[in-house]
Amino acid sequence: MTMVRALVLVAVVVLLALAPYSALSFGGLLPGAVNSTGSLQLLALMFVAAATAITLDLMFGYTGLLSFGHALYFGFGCYSTVILSNISGLGFTLGLPLAMLLTFMVALVGNAASLRLTGIGFSMATLALAQALAIAVERGFLRSGGEVGVTYGLDVLPAPFVGIANTRNAYWLALALLVAVYAVVAFAVRTEAGHIWQAIRENPLRTGVLGYNVYACQLASGTIACTLAGVCGAVYSIVMGGANPSIVVLGYSLSLVLMVVLGGRGVIWGAVVGGLVYTYLNERLTAVADSDAVSALPKVIQAPMSQPDFILGTVFVLVILFLPGGLASLFRPKNDDPVDAPQPRKGVLVGNTDPGV
């Protein structure tokens, strides 16, 4: 990362951190002024989605593992944090770390099982696991609340995150999450392990021939990514005050994939852009579709404008057609972050490439 890029990122983060003090209005682009409750919550949701998209990009963009079940870990982190925190005697202070420990264990076991399959088999395995959680949540297992979801009990959340007046604190928490996840993944992909992940993405067979344990490397990538997704889920529960079934369904997993593809696979800041743009459009188009301005349009224009999914789909198709590398390809140099092929060596992740060993 160049010094100029680092300074730009720092400047952007500082400006975003100061946003809750701004009363600027952008003419309907946000629900209200920047520092209004609605705008801050929308921005917080965008930050959480962008952070979650980064975690999927670590698997899909950098390691070549297409997961259709990433919502499993996001949802598990969210639900487990709320449910455990609500248990008498645990509270949020103990419930949160315990939930993250359980998320790590689920991520480890889930990826260990799924990675025994490759290609589309792996994708289908992740989908099956995610659907299992979705069914469990829908049926209200383990105090999940069924179709209505579950919320934090009285006096469970720390006081700084309770009430509309403290929305700015939830905003700052979501921003801190995005910065932290970005930093962790950016560091990880630049390590030796990160170079091996990228080599596996390009040619897993060749990487295995070089002596690297492909299964172990993929397991490390998947476990890190899915655990971080669980952390994102925990922050989501704080921003929203609870958990709801919409975050564990197939649609949310596919939305995360769309965020990564929209922004640019294998580019961390591309995943951020994809997550921000997708979430913004998904949230605001619904409000615009019901507005008087759209109702006053001619029928031929009103029909598509009143269908947010149609507009999102159109945007996605246009990006695929004209920007196959995602929105990041508009600005990313062709030689940005080249991947050096790993050389044969012995180490922790070197050995038999058979996942059964």
Which tens digits make up the pLDDT trace of 210-266? 999 999 999 999 999 999 999 999 999 999 999 999 999 999 999 999 999 999 999
Whether residue 100 is predicted with pLDDT greater than 80 in this model: the reply is yes
pLDDT at position 355, please?
Answer: 39
Q: Please indicate, yes or no, if residue 266 is contained in any of the structural domains.
A: no
What is the C-alpha separation between 285 and 294, in angstroms, rounded? 11
Query: Is the per-residue pLDDT at 118 higher than 50?
Result: yes
pLDDT of residue 354: 41
Within a domain: residue 222? Answer: yes
- On whether residue 246 sits in a domain, the answer given is yes
The answer to whether residue 298 sits within a structural domain is no
Question: What distance in Å separates the CA atoms of residue 10 and residue 233, rounded to the nearest whole number?
Answer: 25
User: Which two three-digit tokens encode residue 111?
Assistant: 């990826």
Q: What is the mean pLDDT of residues 274-301?
A: 81
pLDDT of residue 332 exceeding 70:
no
Q: 282 lies in a domain?
A: no
Asked whether residue 119 is domain-assigned, the answer is yes
The pLDDT value given to residue 84: 95
- For the stretch 166-211, pLDDT in tens is 899 999 999 999 999 999 999 999 999 999 999 999 999 999 999 9
Do the domain assignments include residue 220?
A: yes
| Within-domain flag for 327 | no
Tell which residue, 179, 236, 243, has the closest CA to residue 44.
Answer: 236
Percentage of the chain with pLDDT > 70? Answer: 91
β 242-243/150-151 pair status: antiparallel
Nearest C-alpha neighbor of 217 from the set 57, 59, 56: 59
CA–CA gap between residue 115 and residue 309 (Å, rounded) = 33
Total domains, the chain: 1
Domain with 104, as residue range(s), is 40-250
Among the listed residues 9, 44, 85, 11, the one whose alpha carbon sits nearest the alpha carbon of residue 279: 44
Mean pLDDT of 348-354: 42
